[in-house]
C-alpha cells in the first residue's frame, strides 16, 4: 500500500490545521494510504527531509491539533524554480517521495502555494511520474479565484466584524469623541476590510467609511469626506485595508527600506492607519485621532473562530483525499456556495494553474459609488461565513 504526504505553506490561519486533520481522519475511515506523512515547514522542509508520520499520532493529539491555530506543521515562503530552467530540486523531491513510497502530495496554501501545485503536477505529467498533486485552499485574504471563498477568511472576518463593533463602542464614550482608524490586512484585495461592514448597532452600520484596495485612494477626497462627517457627528470610524494604493498604483504605506520584499516579490506593507492618522492631524481636522493595526491576530484568532469556517476547512481536507483516490491531480479543492434557504456549501475541483498567480477582487458593484464603503451585497456574502454572528450590544449614552 502506498503513502501520502501533506504540508502547509504561506501565511497561517486559525483553521488551517483542520484541513490536515480532514485528510488524516478521512484516511483512517477509508484506508486509502498506509501512512499520512507531513512535511515540516512546507516544501522547503520536505526537501530537507523534515517529516513526521501523522498516522502514528494519538487520536487525542490529532483532535487538539485540529483546533490549534496557526500552521501546526510549520510553514514556508519557498518559491520553486521553473523546472525548465533548473530541475534539481524537482529531482530531489520526487526521489525522496519514491523512497517513502508516496504517490500523493497534498499542499495546503494560498495563491503562491497553488503555483507550486501547478508546477509539480506539470512536471509529473511531462516526466511520467506516478505522483498526484492536490492543492487545499487556505488564506484569510479570500483572494483565490474560482472558489466562492477560502478557509480562514470566515474566522478572520468574524474577528474583524466583532472588534469593529467593540472598538466603535470604546471610541464613542465621550462628549467630544475623535476619529478612530482600524487597519486590516489585505495586500491586493479588500475582503477583510469589507467584513467590517457586517458590524451594526441597532441595525445601523458602525463604520462610517471602509476603504478597499480595489478603488484608488484619493487623499483629497478622503480628507473632505472625513472632515464633513466629523463636523456633522463629532466622531468618525474608519476601516482601511493595508493595501490601499493611489491612482498610480503605488501603495500609500509601502515600507521605504530597500529589500523589503518576500521570496515571491511582494512588498512588505503596514502603517496605513498611522498614515491616515497623520494626514488627518496635519489637515487640522482634529488631533483626537487613534489608529489600531490588527496585525497577525487576524490569522490566529481561534478563540473566536467561525464554526462554518472550521467545518469547511475540515471538509476540503476530506474532499482532497477522496479526489486523489479518484485519480485527480493538478487541481485545487474549491468551495461552492449552494443555492438553498439556509447556507450550505460543497466542493469541486479547480485547475491549480487557473488559480496560481491570479487574484479574486471584491466586485466593484459591491463597493459604493463614493468608493468609501461596501454595499449590502458584500455584507450578505460575508455574514453566513461568520456564523451569522454579530454581538447584540446595548448602550444608553446615545
Q: Which three cell numbers stand for residue 343?
A: 447556507
Q: What CATH number does domain 3-151+303-355 carry, 1.10.3330.10, 3.40.50.450, 1.20.120.160, 3.40.50.720?
A: 3.40.50.450
Q: How confident is the model at residue 384 (pLDDT cuts 50, 70, 90)?
A: very high
Tens-digit pLDDT profile for residues 73-106: 999 998 898 999 999 999 999 999 999 999 999 9
Percent of the chain predicted with pLDDT > 90? 89
pLDDT score at 390: 81
Rounded to whole angstroms, how far apart are CA atoms 308 and 153? 11
pLDDT score at 253: 81
Q: How confident is the model at residue 265 (pLDDT cuts 50, 70, 90)?
A: low
Nearest to 143 by CA among 192, 196, 216: 192
pLDDT score at 398: 63
pLDDT(186) > 60: yes
pLDDT score at 64: 98
Using a CB cutoff of 8 Å and minimum separation of 24, what contacts does 260-269 make?
262/77, 263/77, 263/78, 263/79, 264/77, 264/79, 264/112, 266/187, 267/187, 269/187, 269/242, 269/243
Percent of the chain predicted with pLDDT > 70? 96
Other Cβ atoms less than 10 A from the Cβ of 70: the count is: 17
Query: In the 8-state DSSP scheme, what is residue 67?
Result: T
Name, in order, each residue with C-beta under 8 angstroms of 156's C-beta and a sequence gap of 6 or more. 13, 14, 140, 185, 192, 195, 298, 299, 301
Residue identified by cell 494553474 is 353
Span 343-364, average pLDDT: 97
pTM (2 d.p.):
0.94
Is the model more confident about 116 or about 270? 116
Nearest to 107 by CA among 263, 311, 335, 317: 317
pLDDT(292) > 80: yes
Span 352-362, average pLDDT: 96
391, HSE (Cβ side, Cα atoms, 13 Å): 18
Nearest to 146 by CA among 353, 328, 7: 353
Q: Which residues pair with 3 in a beta bridge?
A: 102
Q: How confident is the model at residue 284 (pLDDT cuts 50, 70, 90)?
A: very high
Q: How confident is the model at residue 259 (pLDDT cuts 50, 70, 90)?
A: very low
Other Cβ atoms less than 10 A from the Cβ of 327: the count is: 7
Boundaries of every domain in the chain: 3-151+303-355, 154-301+360-386
Q: Annotated active-site positions, please?
A: 141
Tens-digit pLDDT profile for residues 305-325: 999 999 999 999 999 999 999
By the 8 A CB rule, do 237 and 206 touch? yes
Considering only CA atoms, give the Rg of the chain. Answer: 22
Mind giving me the DSSP string for 114-173? HHHHHHHHHHHHHTT---EEEEEE--TT---SSSS--TTHHHHHHHHHHHHHHHHHHTT-
Tens-digit pLDDT profile for residues 155-183: 999 999 999 999 999 999 988 899 999 99
Q: How confident is the model at residue 257 (pLDDT cuts 50, 70, 90)?
A: very low
224, HSE (Cβ side, Cα atoms, 13 Å): 7
Span 177-205, average pLDDT: 96
Span 224-240, average pLDDT: 97
pLDDT(261) > 90: no
pLDDT score at 136: 98
pLDDT score at 255: 46
Query: Does 154-301+360-386 match 3-151+303-355 at the fold level?
Result: yes
Tens-digit pLDDT profile for residues 6-49: 999 999 999 999 999 999 999 999 999 999 999 999 999 999 99
CATH class of 154-301+360-386: alpha beta
Amino acid at each position: 500500500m502506498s503513502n501520502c504526504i501533506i504540508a502547509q505553506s504561506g501565511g497561517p490561519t486559525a483553521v488551517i490545521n483542520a484541513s490536515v486533520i480532514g485528510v488524516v481522519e478521512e484516511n483512517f475511515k477509508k484506508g486509502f494510504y498506509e501512512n499520512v506523512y507531513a512535511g515540516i515547514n512546507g516544501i522547503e522542509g520536505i526537501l530537507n527531509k523534515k517529516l513526521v508520520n501523522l498516522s502514528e499520532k494519538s487520536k487525542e493529539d490529532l483532535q487538539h491539533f485540529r483546533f490549534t491555530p496557526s500552521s501546526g506543521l510549520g510553514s514556508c515562503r519557498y518559491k520553486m524554480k521553473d523546472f525548465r530552467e533548473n530541475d534539481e530540486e524537482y529531482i530531489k523531491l520526487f526521489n525522496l517521495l519514491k523512497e517513502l513510497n508516496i504517490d500523493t502530495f497534498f499542499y495546503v496554501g494560498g495563491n503562491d502555494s497553488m503555483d507550486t501545485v501547478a508546477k509539480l503536477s506539470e512536471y509529473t505529467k511531462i516526466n511520467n511520474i506516478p505522483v498526484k498533486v492536490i492543492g487545499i485552499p487556505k488564506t484569510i485574504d479570500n483572494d483565490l479565484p474560482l472558489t466562492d471563498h477560502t478557509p480562514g477568511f470566515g474566522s478572520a472576518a468574524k474577528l474583524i466584524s466583532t472588534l469593529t463593533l467593540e472598538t466603535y463602542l470604546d471610541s464613542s464614550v465621550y462628549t467630544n469623541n475623535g476619529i478612530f482608524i482600524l487597519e486590516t490586512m489585505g495586500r491586493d484585495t479588500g475582503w477583510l476590510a469589507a467584513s467590517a461592514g457586517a458590524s451594526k448597532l441597532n441595525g445601523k452600520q458602525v463604520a462610517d467609511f471602509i476603504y478597499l484596495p480595489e478603488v484608488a485612494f484619493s487623499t483629497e477626497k478622503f480628507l473632505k469626506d472625513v472632515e464633513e462627517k466629523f463636523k456633522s457627528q463629532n466622531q468618525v470610524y474608519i476601516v482601511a485595508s493595508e493595501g490601499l494604493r493611489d491612482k498610480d498604483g503605488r501603495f500609500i504605506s509601502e515600507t521605504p527600506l530597500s529589500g523589503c520584499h518576500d521570496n515571491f516579490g511582494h512588498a512588505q506593507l503596514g502603517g496605513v492607519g498611522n498614515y491616515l492618522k497623520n494626514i488627518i492631524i496635519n489637515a487640522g481636522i482634529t488631533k483626537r485621532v487613534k489608529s489600531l493595526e490588527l496585525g497577525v491576530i487576524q490569522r490566529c484568532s481561534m478563540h473566536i473562530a467561525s464554526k462554518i469556517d472550521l467545518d469547511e476547512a475540515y471538509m476540503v481536507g476530506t474532499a482532497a483525499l477522496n479526489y486523489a483516490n479518484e485519480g485527480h491531480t493538478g487541481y485545487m479543492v474549491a468551495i461552492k456556495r449552494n443555492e438553498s434557504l439556509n447556507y450550505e456549501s460543497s466542493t469541486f475541483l479547480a485547475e491549480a494553474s487557473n488559480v496560481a498567480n491570479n487574484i479574486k477582487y471584491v466586485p466593484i458593484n459591491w463597493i459604493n459609488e463614493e468608493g468609501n464603503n461596501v454595499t449590502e451585497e458584500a455584507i450578505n456574502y460575508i455574514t453566513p461565513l461568520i456564523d451569522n454572528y454579530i454581538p447584540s450590544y446595548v448602550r444608553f449614552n446615545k
